[in-house]
Amino acid sequence: MLADSPRESLPDATALAGRDPASVLTSALLLVLAAAAWARVLLSPMASDDMAGMSMAMTPAFSDGLAYVAAWAIMMAAMMLPSAVPMIGLYAATQRSASPGGRVAAVALFTSTYLGLWALTGVPIYLVSVALGALGETALAYGIAGLLVIAGIFQFSRLKQVCLRHCRSPLGFLLGHWRAGWRGGVAMGRAHALYCLGCCWALMVVLVVAGAMGLAWVLLIAAGVAAEKLVPRGEWVARLTGVVLVLLGVAVAVHPGLAAALRAGARSM
């Protein structure tokens, strides 16, 4: 899932030190974009059952899927961009020697590739959410319990730790995956997105299946993702999240009625 071995060394390593004005501007613009996405998530909610697939037909129209994926893409921008700002800002700093147009293109390609791959995950997520509509209440409850336990265990896995380590170390990622030019921006944006997907996929499935896209779940998981990647000792945040998910899964298995409570009452996208 990861990028090939780098073919070129990182140019102008001094660009990684200090505050580069273009890097600061890039970070500011990304935060504005994230804020706009959060405004959409917070101020323009959709019915949770619709977003979770519970009121969709088993053969939904293409327009239904397109609307879902578009809404998912906005939500992923809101949730994932804040924790990606250090990586993209540092990448912008490495483009110091490029022409202004080349620099903008490289950073834009890195960012759009990263967000584009997250948007594409909306396709399988949509299919899963539609399939939920075919499950009975009991089957859904035990499915949620199993998913919570699996997601919790994944938080302790080697794959989780490897992907999280790359997400937490922008400089290490750039030194290990450097590519020059606009193709490099695409390749590195893809590699970073794949590490991020490997780190967070289980939490996103929990969001859809257990949380029914509820706003409370969106906020909790977004905070958890940011803490894992940005705060000191974030790997322990991931493990603590794993413990909570396992315990919650066991609780749902013992009391299946909790599944409905998890999915109900939260304002969605």
Average confidence score pLDDT of the chain: 83
Give per-residue burial for 181-203: e unless 16+ CB within 10 Å, then b: eeebbbbbbbbbbbbbbbbbbbb
Mean pLDDT of 216-227: 92
> What's the CA gap between 190 and 192, in Å, rounded?
5
pLDDT for residue 70 = 92
Mean pLDDT of 217-232: 92
> What's the CA gap between 261 and 63, in Å, rounded?
30
Question: The whole model's pTM is what?
Answer: 0.84
pLDDT for residue 5 = 44
Evaluate whether 195 touches 166 at the Cβ level (below 8 Å): yes
Highest mean pLDDT among 11-15, 53-57, 119-123: 119-123
State pLDDT tens for residues 95-108: 877 777 778 888 99
Mean pLDDT of 3-11: 51
State yes or no: pLDDT of 265 exceeds 70: no
State yes or no: pLDDT of 154 exceeds 70: yes
> What's the CA gap between 134 and 122, in Å, rounded?
19
Highest mean pLDDT among 59-73, 210-224, 225-239: 225-239
Instruction: Report the percent of the chain where pLDDT is more than 70.
Output: 84
Burial class (CB in 10 A: 0-12, 13-18, 19+), 165: middle
Q: How confident is the model at residue 123 (pLDDT cuts 50, 70, 90)?
A: very high
Mean pLDDT of 259-268: 67
48 or 218, higher pLDDT? 218
State pLDDT tens for residues 42-82: 887 554 444 444 444 456 677 888 888 999 999 999 999 99
Domain ranges of the chain: 15-263
pLDDT for residue 252 = 93
Widest Cα–Cα separation across the chain: 61
State yes or no: pLDDT of 86 exceeds 70: yes
pLDDT for residue 8 = 56
pLDDT for residue 226 = 94
Mean pLDDT of 135-146: 88
